[in-house]
Structure 1
């Protein structure tokens, strides 16, 4: 691939941008919440929880289920989630090619910046063959004082890469993530795959995305 990137660094969200994990993770969460008495469709579950750390919704889970949100229950959810991811996870079409191009054009100045827990990020990148591109440059919102939509995790990635926010391109697929990237001072490109049940291009633009694309391949036109 020839040419240069108009950004010094590219920061990729993980779930929904690099890997097609949300239906799997949310399916497990929906089932476990139903076991506690909170019944909803998969689409409703995705509307509520996609883009957020499950622990940040503890109060709502307690209110809807009438049961305490415990560390034991959360770890049980993570364990069942990981089984589903190990069995069925796939990369978003075009992810590896886009990551490879971004790595080449920035001289390795890329990072995976996710609101998920670090174990999940590593599992997913490893399962889909993307982990080697991000070695030493993986950032989890669970390690920060505040997760998305706050900018903390993006600011941490920028600090390690030693790049200014305005020199960074963030790729996100949720309103929560877009807001985090914008709050960090980066240019944000939204990804809204066809049939997305959670968010529309208009919502991503309203959250501050400079552009929204329908497939990862189209991001190349934005970064030049």
Structure 2
């Protein structure tokens, strides 16, 4: 699905979001979070929970959780959430279809200049990449918004990822599937490619376009060819 494309650009690095782009984790994590919030007294559906929390750190919504449950968000509650979430991820997590081959291809095409930049906690991101066999492609270039002054939709995590690779943000392609992440990538100065899968998409193509993506793919298998077309157009 093509949007109104800007002129071709040379990309020296690709920065991947994790959840929903590399690993199919959103339904698992959202299911645990929704169940625990209901147990705490906040009656909301899985879809409502997804709309509120997608692409955001749970702690960033502490005031909202406290208001709806009538109790503060504590470290003990978060620890229980992490434990229950991680147990299900370890048991059920799979890579997004086409993601492993796409990462392998892009890693080779760009001489290893790829990074993972997530709004989730670093332990989760690292565990998920290891679970699906992608850790080796990213090495130390894995970043969490939790470790920075601001998480997505602020651009900090993408700026940190670009800096770690020694590439200017303007020469980076970001791959994102949520409007929260798209705004982070755009505000970092990168070009953002939106992933809107036929099954499992959390935002519509129109929502991603309105947030500022340069183009949209519907399957991760399309990424290497999309990147190669950009490179070819510059040399044509």
Q: Helix, strand or coil: the match of 2:194?
A: strand
Q: Aligned runs of 1:189-208 on 2, under 5 Å?
A: 189-196=193-200, 198-208=202-212
Q: Helix, strand or coil: the match of 1:113?
A: strand
Question: Is it true that 1:119 corresponds to 2:123 in the alignment?
Answer: yes
CA contact (8 A) 1:43 1:197 kept: no
Q: Equivalent of 1:185, from 165, 170, 189? A: 189
The equivalent of 2:76 in structure 1 is 72
- How far does residue 6 in structure 1 lie from its aligned partner after superposition? 3.5
Question: Is it true that 1:215 corresponds to 2:212 in the alignment?
Answer: no
Q: Equivalent of 1:51, from 50, 55, 64? A: 55
Structure 2 gaps, min length 5? 1-8, 230-236
Q: Equivalent of 2:41, from 37, 43, 46? A: 37
The CA RMSD measured in Å over matched residues stands at 1.2
> CA 1:115–1:153 in 2, change beyond 3 Å: closer, same or farther?
same
CA contact (8 A) 2:177 2:202 kept: no
Structure 1 gaps, min length 5? none
CA contact (8 A) 2:177 2:201 kept: no
- How far does residue 197 in structure 1 lie from its aligned partner after superposition? 5.8
Question: Is it true that 1:128 corresponds to 2:148 in the alignment?
Answer: no
CA contact (8 A) 1:144 1:152 kept: yes
Cα shift readout 1:12-71 (whole Å, capped 9, x = no counterpart): 000000000000000000000010111222111111111000000111111111111111
- The separation in 2 between residues aligned to 1:29 and 1:21, in whole angstroms, is 12
Q: Equivalent of 2:159, from 143, 155, 158? A: 155
